[in-house]
């Protein structure tokens, strides 16, 4: 049994070491692979070159190193009929909840304004707003969105969420479908995007969406860069409809040197690090799934490729 590893976010041989330690019977190879493609049973990949995976005729499953699988869905030659498994692992979930909490508190406590004041050497207090007077609205109530909301409960924010199918979550006002979006946005002061990128969700953070938020709301995009219409964000920030944005993901990564986001005073940015899969914890999810498949059980977290997530 052999597994091919292709990941840009591996540090050293972390995946190889973790897999060898947890599953010595599994042979591991790192990409680029020069051996016989027919000998590869599993692929564990992040952003493989388009057309790469079709080279392996005996693949039994494709594991995404990340939670998002848009890097696979966008491959026009992705082999069909082979299960694609997204990453669900405690380290990735914990990292995302940390980042979302940090970003929400940054906006709630006016840190973008204080950073501007600091640049101008201005010493001025901005009146504090009680957390229970603000609503945090989560676009996406999946593994990551739900955990982040759960962690935010500690701060007393009003919490709301929006998903495709109806949900009932204690302490969270739930909305769903296109019919529920406007009511969700109308009360949301800090909007967080944790949606997968699909044809339905692309461009969802646009001027129409921003106009439906209360004036002065802020936006946190940790989903994918293509969820955001970039010019619409700049217009909404410059008009004051939005007071700030935290962006971790971008249409083009790395963000081009001349991109206006770099210098925008009301944008806080990070280079797609909101959360990272940690091989030493994620290895258990991959190994358990391979063992399931090998013993004839159903795989967990298989993506519905028609739905796109």
Q: Which two tokens stand for residue 176?
A: 């769903």
Q: Which long-range contacts (CB under 8 A, 24 or more apart) does 58-65 make?
A: 60/293, 61/85, 61/289, 61/290, 61/293, 61/299, 63/87, 63/286, 63/289, 64/303, 65/7, 65/9, 65/277, 65/282
279 binds ligand NDP (CB under 6 A): no
One symbol per residue from 200 to 219: x for binding ligand NDP (CB under 6 A), - otherwise; what is it? xx------------------
Nearer Cβ to ligand NDP (40/286): 286
Q: Which two tokens stand for residue 78?
A: 């992705």
> Closest separation between CB of residue 52 and ligand OXD, Å?
18
142 binds ligand NDP (CB under 6 A): yes
User: How far is residue 249's CA from residue 78's CA, in Å, rounded to a whole number?
Assistant: 24
Decide which of ligand NDP, ligand OXD, none touches 221; Cβ closer than 5 to 8 Å per partner kind.
none
Residues pairing with 269 in the sheet? 247
Decide which of ligand NDP, ligand OXD, none touches 18; Cβ closer than 5 to 8 Å per partner kind.
none
Which residue stretch of 62-70, 101-109, 120-128, 167-175 sits at the interface with ligand OXD (rule: CB under 6 A)?
62-70
Span 3-62, contacts to ligand NDP by CB under 6 A: none
Q: Which of 56, 275, 282, 289 binds ligand NDP (CB under 6 A)?
A: 275
User: How far is residue 219's CA from residue 48's CA, in Å, rounded to a whole number?
Assistant: 30
112 binds ligand OXD (CB under 6 A): no
User: How far is residue 224's CA from residue 67's CA, in Å, rounded to a whole number?
Assistant: 11
Decide which of ligand OXD, ligand NDP, none touches 196; Cβ closer than 5 to 8 Å per partner kind.
ligand NDP
Residues pairing with 42 in the sheet? 3, 61
- DSSP H stretches of helix in the chain: 14-22, 70-73, 90-108, 111-119, 143-152, 177-186, 207-212, 230-239, 279-294
Neighbour-count burial for 25-55, b at 16+ CB within 10 Å, e otherwise = ebbbbeeebeeeeeebbbbbbbbbeeebbbe
User: How far is residue 161's CA from residue 66's CA, in Å, rounded to a whole number?
Assistant: 23
User: For residue 61, what is the DSSP state?
Assistant: E
**Is-contact 64 87, C-beta < 8 A?**
yes
> Closest separation between CB of residue 47 and ligand NDP, Å?
13
Q: Which of 47, 64, 163, 209 binds ligand NDP (CB under 6 A)?
A: 163
140 binds ligand OXD (CB under 6 A): no
Instruction: Point out the residues that are catalytic.
Output: 224, 272
User: How far is residue 57's CA from residue 238's CA, in Å, rounded to a whole number?
Assistant: 52
Which residue stretch of 101-109, 197-205, 207-215, 228-236 sits at the interface with ligand NDP (rule: CB under 6 A)?
197-205
Q: Which of 4, 18, 26, 67 binds ligand OXD (CB under 6 A)?
A: 67
Q: Which two tokens stand for residue 202?
A: 């692309």
222 binds ligand NDP (CB under 6 A): yes
Nearer Cβ to ligand OXD (18/236): 18
Q: Which of 43, 63, 66, 135 binds ligand OXD (CB under 6 A)?
A: 66
> Closest separation between CB of residue 13 and ligand NDP, Å?
22
Chain residues in the site for ligand NDP (CB under 6 A): 66-68, 92, 96, 140-145, 162-165, 194-198, 200-201, 222-224, 248-249, 272, 274-275, 309
Chain residues in the site for ligand OXD (CB under 6 A): 66-68, 87, 92, 277
């Amino acid at each position: 049994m052999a597994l091919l590893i292709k990941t840009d976010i591996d540090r050293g041989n972390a995946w190889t070491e973790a897999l060898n330690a947890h599953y010595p019977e599994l042979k591991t190879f790192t990409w680029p692979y020069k051996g016989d493609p027919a000998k590869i049973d599993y692929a564990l990949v992040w952003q493989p070159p388009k057309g790469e995976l079709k080279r392996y005729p005996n693949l039994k499953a494709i594991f995404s190193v990340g939670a998002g699988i848009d890097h696979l869905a966008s491959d026009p030659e992705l082999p069909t009929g082979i299960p694609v498994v997204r990453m669900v692992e405690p380290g990735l979930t914990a990292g995302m909840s940390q980042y979302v909490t940090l970003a929400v508190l940054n906006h709630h406590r006016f840190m973008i304004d204080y950073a501007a004041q600091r640049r101008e050497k201005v010493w001025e207090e901005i009146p504090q707003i009680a957390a229970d007077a603000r609503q945090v609205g989560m676009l996406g109530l999946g593994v990551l969105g739900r955990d982040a909301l759960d962690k935010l409960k500690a701060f007393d924010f009003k919490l709301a969420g929006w998903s495709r199918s109806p949900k009932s979550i204690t302490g969270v006002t739930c909305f769903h479908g296109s019919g529920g979006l406007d009511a969700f946005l109308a009360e949301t002061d800090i909007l967080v995007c944790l949606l997968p990128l699909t044809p339905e969700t692309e461009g969802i953070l646009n001027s129409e969406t921003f106009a439906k938020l209360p004036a002065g709301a802020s936006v946190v995009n940790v989903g994918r860069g293509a969820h955001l219409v970039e010019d619409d964000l700049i217009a909404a920030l410059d008009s004051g409809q939005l007071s700030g944005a935290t962006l971790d993901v971008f249409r083009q990564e790395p963000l081009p040197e001349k991109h206006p986001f770099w210098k925008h005073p009301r944008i806080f940015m990070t280079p797609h690090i909101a959360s990272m899969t940690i091989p030493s914890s994620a290895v258990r999810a991959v190994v358990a799934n391979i063992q399931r498949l090998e013993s004839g059980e159903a795989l967990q977290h298989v993506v519905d490729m028609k739905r796109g997530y």
